[in-house]
Amino acid sequence: MTMIGPAIPRALAGGVAVLVAIPSALVAQEGGAAIMSLNIGLVIWTWVLFLLTLGILAWKVFPFIAGGLEERQRKIQESIDEARRSRDEARSLLDDQNRTLETARREAQELIEKGRAMAESLKKDILAEAKEQQSAMLADARREMEMEREQLREDLRRETVEIALSAAERLIRSRLDSDDNRRLVEEYVSELG
């Protein structure tokens, strides 16, 4: 009704101006002599028709127009309120999403840092284990080399003894005769005794 209230007096003022101007124009066209003469019957019927039309408009049309305008204003206001609610809800959802995203970024950064720390720790462990294995392998290799060296020395000693014995045996066979052999055996027996 706030929009209809000022419109009705304006329409009435315009209608009154038209009603006053119409009979004056008719009088001027009919007689031509009396520009200011007034036909009272015509003015009364014009006013009666005008007021009747205005009454019908006020009774049927203006409430319908006012209701339509009020309904339109209500719908516009509801749309504005809904838009505000939607905007506030969207802003709230955006804030929630930003918080969730920030939390996810923080957690991802923490996971990356933990992963780096674990990788560094694993790298150190692997390097330490590799060094231990290398040291163990070197120690095993040295032991094996030492054992092989000892085995070679023993084999060389045996071979040397066998060669020396063979050489001594040949030398003794060629130099000693049976008397010398007997004398050597007797000397050996006497030393044992």
Among 81, 99, 117, identify where a domain stops.
99
Q: What pLDDT is stored for residue 174 in this prediction?
A: 62
pLDDT tens track for 109-121: 999 999 999 999 9
**Domain carrying residue 188:** 158-192
Residues 10 and 91 in one domain: yes
CA distance 177 to 173: 7
CA distance 174 to 45: 182
Which is higher by pLDDT, 148 or 23? 148
Count of domains in the chain? Answer: 2
Among 78, 99, 120, identify where a domain stops.
99
Tell me if 117 is assigned to some domain: no
Residues 81 and 162 in one domain: no
Residues 181 and 94 in one domain: no
CA distance 15 to 17: 5
**Residue 96 reports pLDDT greater than 90:** yes
Mean pLDDT of 128-134: 92
**Quick one: which of 54, 53, 62, 49 has its CA closest to 23?**
49
Residues 170 and 90 in one domain: no
Residues 8 and 86 in one domain: yes
Tell me if 139 is assigned to some domain: no
Which is higher by pLDDT, 156 or 102? 102
Task: Provide the token pair at 52.
Answer: 């009747």
Tell me if 23 is assigned to some domain: yes
Q: What pLDDT is stored for residue 9 in this prediction?
A: 52
Q: What pLDDT is stored for residue 10 in this prediction?
A: 57
Give DSSP secondary structure letters for 138-178. Answer: HHHHHHHHHHHHHHHHHHHHHHHHHHHHHHHHHHHHHH--H
pTM recorded for the entire structure: 0.38
Residue 62 near residue 39, CB atoms below 8 Å: no
Tell me if 113 is assigned to some domain: no
Residues 171 and 91 in one domain: no
Instruction: Let me know the angle formed at the C-alpha of 108 by 105 and 112, rounded to the nearest 5 degrees.
Output: 135
Among 64, 82, 99, identify where a domain stops.
99
Q: What pLDDT is stored for residue 137 in this prediction?
A: 92
